A and B are shown apart, each in its own frame.
Chain A
Amino acid sequence: MGSALLAGALAGAAGQSLAQEPLRSFTIVGDAIPEPVTGQRGDPARGRAIVTNRQVGLCLLCHSGPFPEERLQGSLAPDLAGAGGRWSEGQLRLRIVDSSRLNPDTIMPPYYRTEGLHRVAANFRGKPVLTAEQIEDVVAFLTTLRD
């Protein structure tokens, strides 16, 4: 409890430098990252909020999905409906973390990579699109999209 409070205080004080800490390591097996990047599975409800947020997840700019309340959705990428049936949890994780590992020509942005990018805007430099926790929340949500 005490250490959690301390960590929270540090995060608030350090802010920028903590945001640019090195990415966590993960292990790719085949076309998947079987284990959570954070060590524990995320929260589907938080994941849904990230997916539908146009400033955070950005997903619906390109994808459509089973979100009847969201009017403006994309068609550049596959419908997210049924994603949890088509892909395993680990396959979804790698496709979000860095889809270019599977298809170098993909239009899907790498959500958890900071290397090998060019001319990143100053306010985003050294930061992944989503944090490891957010990645796990999104993965947890997408696995619930079964049909």
Chain B
Amino acid sequence: MREGVISRRAARLLLAACIALGALPPSSQAEIPAAERRSSYELMSAETKAMQDEDSANPGMLWVLDGEALWNRRAGEADRSCADCHDAAPQSMRGVAARYPAFDEKRGTAVDLQGRINLCRTEQQKAPPLAFERQELLALTTYVGRQSRGLPIDASDPRLDPAVETGREIFTRRQGQLNLACAQCHDDNWGQKLAGIVMPQAHPTGYPLYRLEWQTLGSLQRRLRNCLIGMRAEPYGYGSAEYVAIEAFLMRRAHGMPIETPAVRP
């Protein structure tokens, strides 16, 4: 009884503190505890898992092979290839994708892997940036991502905190005609069924990935765009700071989970 009184008082104080700080308690419930985090790989059929696991069956490997060729091909006014600066990707790019988005000192912002590749294109190779969701950028990103396969995501860099917080804010904000927040499905209702399909936790471990529904390989930004359109919200532009912020938040949220690139999903 007495405990009840104290806890009610504590709750009032907490609420008062939240109001004083100008922060209301989030409408979404808590984030997924580390022990309960699951890649949606675990939701897949044995056949689809085998498709991801066996390089000879994984269609994403076509982009890896293409990416390897692009890695070694000279481009731009500088007439330099990625390999001219970075040498062999299996060594130099090992673990890199597990740390992206990363903080860019020069710009003072977070940059995702596709953004970094295009910055190398424009600044080092003196070549035009590669177009989003087209073969070349997807292939190079998948090739670099492949070098981190099996390695744990490391999103601990505190300089990413502002981007992570922006991403968290977008993730938990309701938007679109259907007035939904990402967190309402992926934090609060994962495991439930949406139109008969099990709601995943939305971890970014496998991107770029081959989606059977797409009949092709696509980036995390393409997947985010799909969800926003489903919510009847205005999608952000490819390469926008908002997408990079969501990516940074999702990587922090999935910190420690292994990279699966190129994953396969239904």
Contacts and interface: CB of A to CB of B under 8 A. Distances in A.
* Chains A and B belong together in one complex: yes
Contacts of B180: 107, 109
B196 interface: yes
Contacts, number: 75
Contacts of B28: 105
A123 B196 CA distance: 27
Q: Which of A71, A120, A122 has the most CB of B within 10 A?
A: A120
Interface stretch (A4-12, A54-62, A79-87): A54-62
A13 interface: no
Contacts of B193: 73-76
A74 to B, nearest CB: 5
B195 A74 contact: yes
Interface residues of A, number: 27
A26 interface: no
Interface residues of B, number: 26
A75 B232 contact: no
B92 interface: no
Contact of A76 (B177, B199, B233, B235): B199
A74 B233 contact: no
A71 B195 CA distance: 9
B233 A120 contact: yes
A1 interface: no
A109 B177 contact: yes
Given A104-B27, A107-B188, A62 B194 contact: yes
A124 B177 contact: yes
A74 B192 contact: yes
Interface stretch (B65-73, B127-135, B168-176, B252-260): B168-176
8 contacts: A72-B195, A74-B194, A76-B192, A107-B185, A117-B175, A120-B177, A121-B229, A121-B234
Given A58-B178, A76-B194, 5 more contacts: A76-B185, A120-B177, A121-B229, A121-B233, A124-B177
Interface of B: 27-28, 173-180, 184-185, 188-189, 192-197, 199, 229, 232-235
